A and B are shown apart, each in its own frame.
Chain A
Amino acid sequence: MHMLKRWPASLWVFIALFIACLIAVPRFGTVQNFVNLGRMAAILALVSIGQGVVIMVRGLDFSIGSAVALFSVATVLCAPVLGVAPAFGIGAVAVLCLGMLNGVLISYLKLPAFLVTLGAMIGVHGLCSVLVGGVPIEAPVGIDMSGLAHAGWFGIPVPAWLAAVAFGGSYVLMEYTSFGREAHLIGSNPRAAELAGIPVPLRILQAYVLNAMLVAVAGAVLTSRLGSGQPNLYPELPFEAIAACAIGGIPLTGGKGSPLHAVLGVCILALFMNALVLFNFPTYLQSMLLGVLIVESVLVQHLAGRFAWRAGSAQMQTNT
C-alpha cells in the first residue's frame, strides 16, 4: 500500500486511458500506430522534461517553439556550406546560446521568466523569418538530413530512444543527485535555499541550459524529419509542453514533481490526441476536447489534492 501511494496519480490515469483506447478506439492496437505514437510523443517528451526542470525552479520557457525553429533554419542554411553533421552542430549551438541568454537574464539579473522568454519567443521568431525571408526554405537537393528521424533500432524509432535516454538521465539527475535536491529546494523556497548556501542563480542557469540541451535534441529530430528550415515550425510547442507538465501533475508554482510526471503527462496527451485522430473527429472538435482535457485534469488534481488534505487532517484529529 505504501509503495502504491508513491506512484503519481497520473500513472493510473494513463493506464486507464490506455486500456480504454485499446477497447474502444478502432485501429489503436496496431504496431504501426504505436510507432506513430512513439514518434509524436518523443519530441513532446524531450521538451516537456526540460520544461519540467525549469518549472521546478519556478521558471517557465515560452521560447522553445522559436528555439526549434531557429535550429531548423540555422541547420538548413549551414548544411550546403559545412555539411550535414557540422550544420546540426551549429543549430545546437544557436539553441544553447538562446538558453544561456534566457538563463543569465532570469537567474543573475532576476528578471521575470515570463517576460524574458516571451521577448525571446517573439524576437527569435522574427530573427528566423528574417534569415529565410519569411518563407520555409528547403534543404538543397542532394543533402539528406532524414537519417536521425527515420532510422530505427530494434524496430523502435531513434527519436523514441533519444526520449528514453533523456528521461532516464534526467530522472537520475533530478531524483538522485545533489543538483536535483537543490533544484527541489530552490523551487519550494528560494530564500531558504540561499540561506542554506546553495548557489541559487547558478542552479537556475543550469536548469535553463539543461532545458536548452533537450530542446536542441528535439529541434534536431524535427529538422531531420522535415528537411527544411521553417520559422513557423512548431509555434504551439511551449504551450503543449506546459500543458503536458500540468496534466502530469507538476504544479507551476515549482518545487514539486519529477521527469516521470512530465513523461506521464506527455503520454496522456499523446494518447488522447491519437485517439481523437483515429476516431476521425473534425479538427475543431479535437481542439475543443483537448482544451477541456487540459483544464479538467488540473481541476481534478486540485480537487483531489484538497480532498486528500481534508482526509489527512480528519485522520490526524481522530488520532489525537
Chain B
Amino acid sequence: MNTQLSSASSQPWSRLPRLQQMTSLNAQALSGPMACMLMIAVMASISPGFVSANNFGNIFSQSSVLFVLAIGQMFVILIRGFDISVGAVAALASVVAVQAMPHVGESAAIMLGIMTGLLAGALNGYLIACHGLQPIVVTLGTTLVVRGAATALEEAADSMSLGGDGMLQLLGYAAFLGLPLLVWLAAIISLSAWLITRWLPFGRWLYMVGGNPEAARLVGVPVRSTETLAYALCGACAGLAGMFLLARSGTAIATEGAGMELQAIAACVIGGIALGGGRGSVWQALAGALFIQALLNGLNLLGSSPFVSEMVLGAVIVSAGILDYVVRKFKRD
C-alpha cells in the first residue's frame, strides 16, 4: 500500500519512506548507548558510592575483557552467526601462553596465545562458511575440543603462574591517566575494530553479507572469505581476552571464561545489534558491555547477591527484544 502511494505520488513524497527508514535506523543504533546511560543514571540514584572516579575506573577495568569479547562477537553477529566457543578459546589461549613463556619469551608467547585464538576461530569459520554448517553446532563442538585441550595442557604442566614481573604483569597493574593499561588497550582495539568496519572494504562486506548473502555474492563480494575472516577475528579477540585474563589474575586456569560467551552475546543484544545480521556497530557492542558491567557493579555495591544481577540481566535481554518489537510495531502502524 505504501509503495503504491509513493510510486504514484510526486517526487517529494517518494522520498518519505527513505527518510523514515533513516530515522528509525538511528533510533535503533542509539538504543544501546541510551540504555547504558539510563542504567548508569539509575545506579547512580539508588546505589551509594556508585558515582566516584574510583568506581568508574573499577567498572572500566572490569569490563576490559568483556569489551574485547563483545567486539569479536559483533563481527560474527553482523554476518548472521554467533560463536559460543569464545570463553573456552580464551582459556586455551592463556594456558598456551603460560606454557610457551619460559621457552620462547614473553612477547612471542603472547603472540602465540592470540594466534591460538585466531586458528580456532578460523577453523570455526571454515566449517561454517565453506560447508554451510550451523554456527551453534560447530562452535559447540569447538568448545568441547578446546576446553578439553586446555585441560590436557594444564594437567601436563607443572606451573600455571606467571613468574616474576614481565610485560603482562605490568599490563595488569600499571595505570595511565588513572585508568589501567588494559582499558587503554581495549580502547585501541575498539578503535581499530571501528576503523575496520567503517573504512575497509572488508567492513562493508560484513554488512553486505549480513544484510543479504545472495545479493552480496551476486555483486562480487567474496562471501565465504568474509565469513571465515569474521570468525577468525572473533577467535583472535577471544585469544586477546585470554591474555587480558592472564594479565589480571597472573595464572592460567583451564576452566576460566565459562559463561563469558553468553555475556558477550548479551552485550551485543543489549547494545541493539540485530541478531538477523547486517546492522550494528562497535559502539553498540561497547555500550552493551558497559551496561552489563555497570549493572553488576551497581547491584554489588548495593549488597545484593550476584544471582539477583543475573536475574536482572536475563530480564533485560528479553526486554531488549520486546522493545524492538514495540519499535517495529510502531513503525508499521
Closest residue on chain B to residue A132 by CB atoms: B307
A123 close to B136 (CB less than 8 A): no
Across the interface, which residues of A come within 8 angstroms of B307, CB to CB?
Answer: 126-127, 129-130, 134, 231
Contact with B along A105-138 (1 / 0, CB 8 A): 1000111101110111111111101100110000
Q: Which one of A121, A283, A290, A291 contacts B314 once the chains associate, using CB atoms below 8 Å?
A: A121
Q: Does B177 contact A (CB under 8 A)?
A: no
Q: Per a CB cutoff under 8 Å, which of B82, B145, B309 touches A291?
A: B145
Contact between A130 and B262, CB atoms less than 8 A apart:
no
Who on chain A is nearest to B135 by CB? A252
* Contact (Cβ within 8 A) B318 A252: no
Interface contact B275-A115, CB-CB below 8 Å: yes
Q: Judge if A299 is at the interface, Cβ distance under 8 Å.
A: yes
A105 CA / B315 CA spacing, docked (Å): 13
How many Å lie between the Cα of A127 and that of B316 in the bound state? 14
CA separation between A243 and B317, bound complex, in Å? 25
Task: Indicate if A295 sits at the interface (CB-CB under 8 A).
Answer: yes
Given contacts A115-B275, A129-B307, A252-B137, contact A283 B151 (CB under 8 A): yes
Among A231, A246, A282, A284, the residue within 8 A (CB) of B149 is A284
**A111-B324, A121-B314, A129-B307 known; A302 and B133 CB under 8 Å?**
yes
Q: How far is the CA of A124 from the CA of B314 in the complex (A)?
A: 8
Q: Counting CB contacts under 8 A, is B325 at the interface?
A: yes
Give the CA-CA distance A116 to B311 in the complex, in Å: 14
Structural contact, A284 and B155, CB atoms closer than 8 A: yes
Distance of A110 Cα from B312 Cα, bound (Å): 22
B310 engages A246 (CB within 8 Å): no
Q: How far is the CA of A253 from the CA of B312 in the complex (A)?
A: 31
CB–CB B131/A299 < 8 A: yes
B131: chain A residues at CB < 8 Å are: 299, 302-303
Closest to B325 in A: A109
A4: chain B residues within 8 A (beta carbon): none
Do B148 and A116 have beta carbons less than 8 Å apart?
no
* Of listed A116, A239, A291, residue having the most chain B CB within 10 A: A291
Q: Is the CB of B137 within 8 A of A298?
A: yes
- Quick one: which of A116, A126, A133, A294 contacts B310, CB cutoff 8 A? A126
Using Cβ atoms and an 8 Å threshold, which residues of chain B touch A298?
133-134, 137-138
A146 interface residue per 8 A CB criterion: no
Which of A125, A287, A298 has the largest number of chain B CB atoms within 10 A?
A287
Contact in complex: B310, A123 (CB < 8 Å): yes
Beta-carbon contact of A123 and B321 below 8 Å: no
| Contact, CB under 8 Å: B133 / A299 | yes
Q: Residues of A contacting B133 with CB < 8 Å?
A: 295, 298-299, 302
Q: How far is the CA of A114 from the CA of B244 in the complex (A)?
A: 29
In the complex, B197 has a CB within 8 A of chain A: no
| Per-residue contact bits, chain B 127-171, to A (CB 8 Å; 1 contact, 0 not) | 100011110111011111111110110010000000000000000
Residues of A within 8 A of B317 (CB): 115, 118-119, 122-123
The residues of A that contact B155 with a CB separation of less than 8 Å are 282, 284
Taking CB atoms and an 8 Å cut-off, the chain B residues in 276-333 that contact chain A are 276, 305, 307-318, 320-322, 324-325
Cα-based distance from A129 to B308 in the complex (angstroms): 8
Interface residue? A242 (CB, 8 A): yes
Q: Is the CB of B315 within 8 A of A119?
A: yes
Q: Mark A286-301, 1 if CB is under 8 A from B, else 0.
A: 1111111111001100
Contact A111 B148 (CB under 8 A): no
Q: Distance in Å from the Cβ of B171 to the closest Cβ of chain A?
A: 29
Q: Nearest-CB distance from B217 to chain A (Å)?
A: 18
Q: For the complex, is B269 an interface residue (Cβ under 8 Å from A)?
A: yes
Given contacts A122-B313, A246-B134, A288-B144, contact A116 B276 (CB under 8 A): no
Q: Does B265 contact A (CB under 8 A)?
A: yes
CB distance from B133 to the nearest CB of A (A): 5
* Residue on A nearest B150 in the bound complex, by CB: A284
Identify the B interface with A (CB < 8 A).
82, 127, 131-134, 136-138, 140-149, 151-152, 155, 262, 265-266, 269, 275-276, 305, 307-318, 320-322, 324-325
Known contacts A119-B316, A283-B151, A295-B145; 19 further A-B pairs (Cβ under 8 A): A110-B325, A111-B322, A111-B324, A111-B325, A115-B275, A115-B318, A118-B265, A119-B315, A119-B321, A123-B311, A125-B310, A126-B313, A134-B307, A252-B134, A252-B136, A253-B134, A290-B144, A291-B148, A298-B133
Q: Which 5 A-B pairs rank lowest in CB-CB distance, beginning with the nearest?
A: A123-B314, A126-B310, A291-B144, A119-B317, A288-B148
